[in-house]
Chain A
Amino acid sequence: MEQAVEAAAIAGSISGDLSILSLVLRADIIVKLVLILLLGASVWCWAIIFDKIRNIRRVSGKASEFEEVFWSGGSLEDLYDRIGTKADHPMAILFASAMREWRRSGAHGLVASDKLTTGVQERIGQVMRLTIARELDRLERYLGFLATVGSTAPFIGLFGTVWGIMNSFQSIALSKNTSLAVVAPGIAEALFATAFGLVAAIPAVVAYNKFSNDLNRFAGRLEGFAGEFSAILSRQLDERAT
């Protein structure tokens, strides 16, 4: 009976020793730093992931709405007056910047000659390319961090593991005892560092791939829109010139 109680007590202490929190608390200072670094990276990664998910969904939703309005056959001037300066998503900003350039060119009545017409077309194209680049750059912000974490977090975790195992071997040397009980805690905490690195890296890699895919597609959409819009504007220029 007493033995049973003892066995239960021992079992309890063992399970307590191997819980994650006690492993972390017992770990070496370097391993702790590694773990903290990885934790911070993971938190920041997930913050980026949540932010990007929301942002990309919002942007592509608004782009769809805008395209619907744009192709509905209404006057582009009216649309620009309505959107004006309060464009809040890349496609509207693209449209607004192009229209602004169009109006400025038209305001001075510089559409008389062929030479000037091509000049206006080139300018509008230039403005649209720049706008697309700027907007995509804004959308892709922080994505580099995901890529960095995805590729380096396993190595950081591995560093923690190697350090922890070094400690384990040093404890073997100190205690002159090769039994698993001496080595096990150190190795467990060391492996925990690798596990943490992987936990931080895997979502980062997956999210990076997904987001860069999504943004590529959205960039294609923006460029398509820009091409169509510049085609419309050039037709208008030609009509005006004749």
Chain B
Amino acid sequence: MRAAITISVAFHFALAAAAWTGVPVLFRDVLREDTPIIVELVAIDEETRAAPQVVKKEEPDPEDEPPKPEPVKAAPAPPPPPPPAPVAQPTPPAPPEKVAALPPPPKPEPKPEAVEPPPPPPPETRIIPDPPTPKPVPPRADIRPRTKPTPPSKAATFDAGRISVLIDKSRKETTPEVDSEEAPKKFLQPPPVPQSPVRQAAVGNRLTITEVDAIRFQIEQCWNVPAGARDAQDLVIRIQISLKPDGSLRSPPEILDRERMGDGFYRAAAESARRAIQRCTPLKNLPTAKYDRWQEITLTFNPRDMLGG
């Protein structure tokens, strides 16, 4: 019997060893992979900053043509308006307010103007670049990088020195003067010039979709959807939060739709969403330059997104 006991003890030790080495491996697969999404956000942030420079380079081209192909410009101009229109509607409030606060967007404008006067002579060959300019506008930042290479090749011959000058100007904050200079020139080439600054302002000042996604993503990670609730897909919760510049909460999150709080399921869901916010703040990776855009946010928690239905 003693031998049997020793065998049994050894057997149990072997079993425990197998569990010790084997079971953790099973648990390791539970890993959630968050990293790629976060990397994406950073990359797009860079692109939105890069965008204005691209637009600057494109502008010289239309300006060169003014003497002969005025009708031609008129033609390319119309296509752009529709795409910018949606973008422009939200923006109008933004640019005036932030001209003072945000130097970068206005800077691009002076550069084109400086370039415009000297190169009037260039031939019609630059009509070709015009079509590209409207195209890149609607799609957004992704396509702009591709357009960059083409303009430099043409502009490099005569713009190289000027570009550096422009960059220098952009570092100084001389926006008001530039605007006054621009005004007269814009009358000559109205369509292309105004559009591009508007777009830049739009991209630079508004919270882009990816930044909204970044906030939403951070909070969704903390939110445990009340999966057992009745009509869970209808439990859309709206919560207003106000944030400090460092991403932490200024005041406790406030649940809108107070009247629905009588419903027990809705109440539980709303409380869970509020806990999620409290747990996930301070939010990370928010662009401090756009603080006034995200200091007051209304977050919409839609279980349908989370439940995949």
Contact = CB atoms under 8 A, between A and B. Distances in A.
Given A43-B5, A47-B8, A50-B7, A11 B31 contact: yes
Contacts of A3: 34-35, 38-39
A3 B5 CA distance: 51
Contacts of A47: 1, 4-5, 7-9
B262 interface: no
Contacts of A163: none
Chain B contact residues: helix, strand, loop or mixed: helix
A20 B31 contact: no
Contacts of A15: 24, 27-28, 30
A20 to B, nearest CB: 5
Contacts of A49: 4, 8
A132 B293 CA distance: 94
Nearest to A16: B24
A145 to B, nearest CB: 12
Contacts of B187: none
B23 interface: yes
A48 interface: yes
Contacts of A177: 275
B7 A20 contact: no
A185 to B, nearest CB: 13
A64 B20 CA distance: 44
A118 B9 CA distance: 54
Contacts of B23: 19-20
Interface size class on chain B is: 20 to 34
Given A3-B34, A14-B30, A179-B275, A46 B8 contact: yes
Interface in A157-206: 177, 179-180
A127 interface: no
Interface residues of A, number: 26
A7 B39 CA distance: 13
B260 interface: no
Interface string A36-53: 000100111111111100
Contacts, number: 65
A42 B13 CA distance: 12
B12 interface: yes
Interface in B126-147: none
B4 A51 contact: yes
Contacts of A107: none
Nearest to A17: B27
A15 B21 CA distance: 12
B19 interface: yes
A25 interface: no
Contacts of B24: 15-16, 18-19
B12 A20 contact: no
A54 interface: yes
Contact of B19 (A20, A48, A179): A20
Interface string A210-236: 000000000000000000000000000
B1 A19 contact: no
A54 B30 contact: no
Contacts of B11: 46, 50
Interface string B235-269: 00000000000000000000000000000000000
* Nearest 10 Cβ contacts at the A-B interface: A51-B4, A46-B8, A47-B8, A4-B35, A47-B5, A50-B4, A47-B4, A11-B31, A15-B27, A3-B38
Given A14-B27, A44-B8, A177-B275, 20 more contacts: A11-B31, A15-B24, A15-B28, A18-B24, A20-B20, A39-B12, A43-B9, A44-B5, A45-B8, A46-B7, A46-B11, A46-B12, A47-B5, A47-B7, A47-B8, A49-B8, A50-B4, A50-B11, A51-B4, A54-B4
8 contacts: A20-B19, A21-B20, A47-B1, A48-B4, A50-B4, A50-B8, A50-B11, A179-B224
Interface of A: 3-4, 7, 11, 14-16, 18-21, 39, 42-51, 54, 177, 179-180
Interface of B: 1, 3-5, 7-9, 11-12, 19-20, 23-24, 27-28, 30-35, 38-39, 224, 275
